[in-house]
Amino acid sequence: MSDAPAPTAFGLMIIGDELLSGKRQDRHLGEVIRMLDERGLELAWARMEGDDPARITSALRETMAGNDVVFSCGGIGGTPDDRTRQCAAEAAGQRLAIHPEGRRELEAQFGPDGTPQRLRMVEFPERAALIPNPVNRVPGFSLGQHHFVPGFPNMAWPMIAWVLDHHYGHLHAVGQRLESAIVVQGARESQLTPLLEDFTARYPELRVSCLPRWAPPDFELELGLRGSAERVPGAMAELQAAVTELGFSWQERLPAAVSG
C-alpha cells in the first residue's frame, strides 16, 4: 500500500438491491463524509449499484483504472446475492482463493470446523490484503486502493476508519481546510453568476458554491468558499466586497473548520 501513488480523490460505492428497492435506507454516505471530514479529507464522488454482477464488475473496472481511493460497502458475504468479491476479482483479473489469514480469523472466531459456506466469506482475490473486522472477525479486503467492507454499518464504519488511519494517515490534514459562507438577500442566481464565474477562474484551488433558497417573500443565495485555510479568508473578503458593490446586502455565516 505504501508504494502506491498518491490518490487523486476519495470515492464511495454502496452496493445492494435492497437500497435501490427502498427496503433499506443508505446510512453509509453521510458517515463516510463525516469520517473523512474529521481527518481533513473530503469525498469526491459516490455511486450506488444493485447486486447485478455485470454492472458491479464494470464499475470496478472503471474505478480500478484510475488512482482514487475507493471504499465499497456491501456484497462481500457468503450468500448467493453477495457478488462483490467475485466482481472485484474479475475486474482485477485475479482468481478467488481462500485467504489463509482470513481462514485463521474465522477459526479463531468460530472454531476449526469451518463449513464451505462460512469459508466462502474469506474467498478473496488472490492478491488481497485483509481489513480487520472488530465485531465478528470476518474480515474485509483491500485490492490496491480499493477497500471492500460489509454492508452492516456497525462493521463497515470502524473498518473504513482503520483503513483511513493505517493506510492514509499521511494524507490527514486536520485544521488545514476551511469553509466560509454568506447569505445574500434578494438575489437570484443569474444576477451573481458572472461574479461566481470570475471567482471560479481566479481561485481554481477553492470550491465555489451557490445554494439558492426561496425565503418568502423573497429569494436568497448562500455563497460558499471551501478550501485551504490560508486562502479562504482573503477570498471571502473579496467576495463580500464584490456582493456589496453589486448592491446586495448579506449576512456572514461564521467560518467552520472542515476538519475540526
pLDDT the model gives residue 211: 94
Determine the Cα–Cα distance for residues 13 and 206; give it in Å rounded to an integer: 25
- List phi, psi (to 5°) of 104: -65, -35
pLDDT recorded at residue 68: 97
Averaged confidence pLDDT in the chain? 91
Pick the CATH number of 177-257 from 3.40.50.970, 3.10.129.10, 3.30.70.260, 3.40.640.10: 3.30.70.260
Cα dist from 88 to 33, 37, 80, whole Å: 24, 27, 16
Contact status, residue 74 vs residue 14, Cβ threshold 8 Å: yes
pLDDT confidence of residue 46: 98
Stretches where the chain sits below pLDDT 70 are 1-6, 114, 254-260
Q: Supply the pLDDT for residue 194.
A: 95
Determine the pLDDT at residue 91. 98
pLDDT of 39? 94
pLDDT at 260: 43
List Cβ<8 Å contacts ≥24 apart for 164-168.
164/35, 164/36, 164/39, 164/41, 167/1, 167/2, 167/142, 168/7, 168/41, 168/69
Per DSSP, the residues of the chain read: -TTSPPPS-EEEEEE-HHHHTTSS---HHHHHHHHHHTTT--EEEEEEE-S-HHHHHHHHHHHHTS--EEEEES--SSSTT--HHHHHHHHHT--EEE-HHHHHHHHHHH-S---HHHHGGGEEETT-EEE--TTTS--EEEETTEEEE-S-HHHHHHHHHHHHHHHSGGG--TTSEEEEEEEEET--HHHHHHHHHHHHHH-TTSEEEEEEEEETTEEEEEEEEEEETTTHHHHHHHHHHHHHHTT--EEEEEEEETT-
Residues in CB range of 158: below 8 A, 6 or more apart: 134, 135
CATH architecture of 10-171: 3-Layer(aba) Sandwich (3.40)
Question: Cell digits for 124?
Answer: 478473496
Domains of the chain, residue spans: 10-171, 177-257
